C-alpha cells in the first residue's frame, strides 16, 4: 500500500495529517472524481462513528465531494456495515465511513466502499491516493453551476435495522431470550438495542452513552470483562460485544466466558453445513487464526483456507473460492449470503440462530473447537523495517521455530493501522508460548526504537 492507505483505509491521529480537514477534503474530491460517470453526478454515502473528530471530517469530506460535482448523503452515526448496506440499497456510487474501528478516540480513519458494498481494491485506493498527493485536484473542479449538494439522509438508522431483521431466519424466535449488549460507546449504540428489542429479546445494554471520547474505552470487543461479569450475574444466554464501528463481534457464553472469533466462525459454519448451506464446505480465515481452528475444520469435514490478514483479503478469497463464511479471530465475521463486509450484529444473529437450531448453549457449541495455547504481544515501534532485515529478531524467530517444531508456529507482522508490531506464538503449553513470544517481542523492541 502507499503513503495514505493501510490495510483498512486511512488511519492516524485526529486533527493531524492525514486525518486533518484539508486531507479529508481532498479525499472527498478524489473519491467523487473517481466515481464520476458520463453525464451523471456520483452519489456518495457518508457515515461515522461517535468520535469527537467525526463531524469535522464528515463535513470536510462532504465539502470535497460537492466541490467535485458529487452528491453527498450524510447518515450521521451508523456502523460501517450499515453504510455498506445503504450503498447497495440506494444504488450509490460509493460509501465512506469515518472511523478508526477499535482504536481509541484520539485516532480516526477513512474507509471507502464501492457502490456494491465491497471495500475498494488496492488499485482503486492507489488511484485515490495519487489524486490526493499529486496536488492537481483543485484544477479539476467544475464551475459553480456543476457543483453538488450535501444532504442529510433521513431514516438511515431505520433502513439499516430493517436490513438486519431480514438477516435473521423467519422460522426462529428469540422472544424472551436474555441478551446483554456492549456497544462500546460506538456506532452500534442505537442500532443493536433497537434490533434485538424488536426481535423480542430481553435486552440489557452496557456502554451505550457515547460522549465523543469514551468510544472503546475499557469496553467493547477489545475489553469484555464488564460484559462477562454482567452475563454471569444476569443469567443471560449470550453477551455480544461490538467494536467502535460495529464490524467486529466478540461473544460471551452463558458461563461468562469470552468466545474467540475463530470459535464463533466455526459454530456458524457447522450450523450452515448441517443445513446443507455451507457452499463448497469452505471457510476462509486468516493466517492469524488459531491452530485449533484448522484442526476443528479437518475434524468436521470443512475445507479451510487461510488468507492474508485483513477482512477485505478474506472477502476476496471467499469470492474466489465460493465460500459464504469467513473472518478473523479478532471478530470480523463475514456472511456473504447476507452482506458484503464484516458485520458484528449479523454475526450475533447467526450465532443465536445456531443456538436455537441446535437447541444447545453457546458454551457447548464453542467447545467443538479446542483453542491451542497462544501468546500475543503488541510492541510499540517507531519504524517498520522489514522483519528479515532485523538480525536479532530473525535469530529469535529461528530459535522459537526450532524449539516448537510441529507443535506450534510463530507469526511476526506489523499492524497496517497502528505503529505496532504484532508477535504471535502458538505452542504446546502456555509457558512455552509465553517464553518465546516474550523473547521475540524484546528483540523487536531493541531493533525498532
Which residue pairs from 294-302 have beta carbons closer than 8 angstroms and sit at least 24 positions apart in sequence?
295/369, 295/370, 295/372, 296/266, 296/368, 296/369, 296/370, 297/266, 300/266, 300/270, 300/273, 300/368, 301/273, 302/266, 302/269, 302/270, 302/273, 302/278
Boundary residue ending a domain (127, 154, 181): 154
Q: Which helix (H) or strand (E) holds 282?
A: strand 282-286
Same domain for 318 and 419?
no
Same domain for 182 and 133?
no
Same domain for 173 and 107?
no
**How many separate domains does the chain show?**
3
Q: Is-above-0.85 flag for pTM?
A: yes
- In contact, 189 and 169? CB cutoff 8 Å: no
pLDDT, residue 84, reads 97
How many whole angstroms separate alpha carbon 320 and alpha carbon 305? 11
- Exposure of 417 in the CB half-sphere (CA atoms within 13 A): 19
Boundary residue ending a domain (104, 127, 154): 154
Structural domain contains residue 160: no
Boundary residue ending a domain (366, 390, 423): 366
Find the CATH number of the domain harbouring 84: 3.40.120.10
pLDDT, tens only, 253-275:
999 999 999 999 999 999 999 99
Which residues make Cβ contacts (< 8 Å) with residue 233, sequence separation at least 6? none
pLDDT, tens only, 51-65:
999 999 999 999 999
Same domain for 43 and 174?
no
pLDDT, tens only, 139-160:
999 999 999 999 999 999 999 9
Same domain for 66 and 205?
no
pLDDT, tens only, 61-110:
999 999 999 999 999 999 999 999 999 999 999 999 999 999 999 999 99
Structural domain contains residue 185: yes
Work out the average pLDDT over 3-15.
91
**Catalytic residue from among 26, 60, 85, 101:** 101
Same domain for 200 and 326?
yes
pLDDT, tens only, 26-46:
999 999 999 987 668 999 999
pLDDT, residue 416, reads 76
CA 364 centroid distance within chain: 26
Same domain for 271 and 138?
no
Structural domain contains residue 163: no
pLDDT, tens only, 352-375:
999 999 999 999 999 999 999 989
Q: Which helix (H) or strand (E) holds 178?
A: strand 178-182
Residue 2 has pLDDT above 60, yes or no: no
Q: Is there a catalytic annotation at residue 101?
A: yes
How many whole angstroms separate alpha carbon 112 and alpha carbon 326? 21
User: Residue 177 is placed in which grid cell?
Assistant: 431470550
Range of the domain at 46: 5-154
Amino acid at each position: 500500500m502507499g503513503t495514505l492507505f493501510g490495510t483498512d483505509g486511512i488511519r492516524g491521529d485526529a486533527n493531524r495529517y492525514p486525518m486533518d480537514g484539508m486531507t479529508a477534503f481532498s479525499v472527498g474530491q478524489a473519491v467523487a472524481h473517481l466515481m464520476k460517470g458520463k453525464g451523471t453526478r456520483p452519489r456518495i454515502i457518508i457515515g461515522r462513528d461517535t468520535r469527537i473528530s467525526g463531524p469535522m471530517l464528515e463535513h470536510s469530506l462532504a465539502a470535497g465531494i460537492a466541490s467535485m460535482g458529487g452528491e453527498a448523503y450524510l447518515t450521521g452515526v451508523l456502523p460501517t456495515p450499515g453504510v455498506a448496506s445503504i450503498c447497495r440499497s440506494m444504488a450509490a456510487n460509493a460509501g465512506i465511513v469515518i472511523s478508526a474501528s477499535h482504536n481509541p478516540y484520539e485516532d480516526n480513519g477513512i474507509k471507502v466502499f464501492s457502490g456494491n458494498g465491497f471495500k475498494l481494491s488496492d488499485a482503486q485506493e492507489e488511484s485515490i491516493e495519487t489524486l490526493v498527493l499529486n496536488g492537481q485536484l483543485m484544477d479539476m473542479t467544475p464551475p459553480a453551476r456543476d457543483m453538488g449538494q450535501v444532504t442529510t439522509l433521513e431514516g438511515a438508522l431505520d433502513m439499516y435495522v430493517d436490513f438486519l431483521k431480514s438477516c435473521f431466519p423467519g422460522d426462529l424466535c428469540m422472544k424472551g431470550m436474555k441478551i446483554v449488549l456492549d456497544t462500546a460507546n460506538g456506532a452500534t449504540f442505537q442500532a443493536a438495542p433497537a434490533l434485538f428489542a424488536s426481535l423480542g429479546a430481553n435486552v440489557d445494554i452496557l456502554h451505550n452513552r457515547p460522549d465523543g471520547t469514551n468510544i472503546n474505552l475499557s469496553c467493547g470487543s477489545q475489553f469484555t470483562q464488564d460484559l462477562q461479569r454482567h452475563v454471569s450475574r444476569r443469567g443471560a444466554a449470550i453477551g455480544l460485544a461490538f467494536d467502535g464501528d460495529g464490524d467486529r463481534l466478540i461473544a460471551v457464553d452463558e458461563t461468562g466466558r469470552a468466545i474467540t472469533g475463530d470459535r464463533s466462525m466455526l459454530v456458524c459454519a457447522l450450523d450452515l453445513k448441517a443445513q446443507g448451506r455451507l457452499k463448497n464446505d469452505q471457510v476462509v480465515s486468516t493466517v492469524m487464526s488459531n491452530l485449533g481452528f484448522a484442526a476443528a475444520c479437518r475434524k468436521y469435514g470443512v475445507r479451510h483456507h487461510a488468507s492474508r490478514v485483513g477482512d477485505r483479503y478474506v472477502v476476496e478469497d471467499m469470492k474466489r473460492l465460493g465460500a459464504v463464511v469467513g473472518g478473523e479471530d479478532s471478530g470480523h465475521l463475514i456472511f456473504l449470503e447476507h452482506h458484503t463486509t464484516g458485520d458484528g450484529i449479523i454475526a450475533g444473529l447467526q450465532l443465536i440462530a445456531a443456538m436455537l437450531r441446535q437447541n444447545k448453549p453457546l458454551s457447548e457449541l464453542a467447545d467443538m473447537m479446542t483453542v491451542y495455547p497462544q501468546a500475543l504481544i503488541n510492541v510499540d515501534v517507531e519504524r517498520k523495517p522489514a522483519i528479515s532485515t532485523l538480525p536479532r529478531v530473525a535469530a529469535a524467530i529461528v530459535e522459537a521455530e526450532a524449539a516448537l517444531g510441529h507443535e506450534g508456529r510463530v507469526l511476526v507482522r506489523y499492524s497496517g493501522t497502528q505503529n505496532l508490531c504484532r508477535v504471535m506464538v502458538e505452542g504446546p503449553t502456555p509457558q512455552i508460548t509465553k517464553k518465546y513470544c516474550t523473547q521475540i517481542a524484546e528483540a523487536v523492541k531493541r531493533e525498532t526504537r
